[in-house]
Amino acid sequence: MDITVLGCGRWGTFIAWYLERINHNVILWGRNSSSNLKNLITNRKNDFLSLPNSINITDNLELAIKSSNIIVISISAQNLRDFMKDIIKYNLSNKTLVLCMKGIEASSGKRLSQVVTEYIDTSLTKVAIWVGPGHVQDFINDIPNCMVIDSEDFNTKNMLVNQFSSKMIRFYYGTDLIGNEIGAAAKNVIGIAAGMLDGIELSSLKGALMSRGTREISRLIKAMGGNEFSAYGLCHLGDYQATLFSEHSQNRKFGECIVTRKEYSKLAEGASTTLALIKLGQIHNTDLPICKAVNDVIYNNVDAKLAIDSLFLRSIKHEF
């Protein structure tokens, strides 16, 4: 199939590499101001992988969109709304947009698929999400994983699962778009909390964090109209190993750096997602103590040790 990947960061570049490897025709697009794009055009590689000559690398957005019926979007979640304003200038009819970001719009609390559908006619343009565990560093070393594709449109979901699956990534059919989007985004916030535990040398509490974090997010998913058990699937709990423990996890590292007062310049989507979850908790009257603790440390200058103590020394309650 002809597939375009919009976004040439770490994950977008990997997606292009992966889809070409399973025999699709791939275009990789980036902004002409992007240092990632300039490096890829010059060297055809980044810090993780090398791109074959068969992948067309371009900064021509019109060409990138017109050339393919499947458009994979892999950019910062908080930039999606402005990006949609750019791409709707071109004809998106009969195209499928696949969102490969794990985030929630901080300003509105809207899921990313909701943001997209504000700008398209869903009878003409289909929307899907691609979420679940996995690091570029592992995939390029042929370490496989399982991920999820979900969409409100079954035919779209079915087509993508069949076209994108391989021995490297086994895709499952998602059945709860709300739960999969919220769960995938929220695991980054739990990842920041895990990094904070590492930073204050309380990693032994990660088990409790995993248990309580999953339950916390399941309550929010249910309050929003999704299936609470989605939090226990690949989108959330199934992604904990890659997010709460892995040395490659940017959100975990971000949380650790906050506590140890070290600079961290890479993108940690969980920082913005924290703001969105606090907003959603208020809208849906759902208690989110872990999200609140992370928010207090990042944005309210609360000492991490105090925030963690208040979290795990809360009044005695039944486990569930």
Structure tokens at 60: 């021509």
Record the tokens describing residue 185, joined without a space.
């985004």
CA 250 – CA 297 distance, rounded (Å): 17
Between CA 161 and CA 170 the distance in angstroms is: 8
Which active-site residues does the annotation give?
Answer: 187
CB 165 within 8 A of CB 132: no
How far apart CA 105 and CA 151 sit, in angstroms, is 19
Angstrom distance (rounded) from CA 290 to CA 144: 31
For residue 73, which phi and psi values (nearest 5 degrees)? -110, 125
Cα(119)–Cα(246) distance, rounded to whole angstroms? 36
Exposed (0-12), middle (13-18) or buried (19+): which is 219, by Cβ within 10 Å?
middle
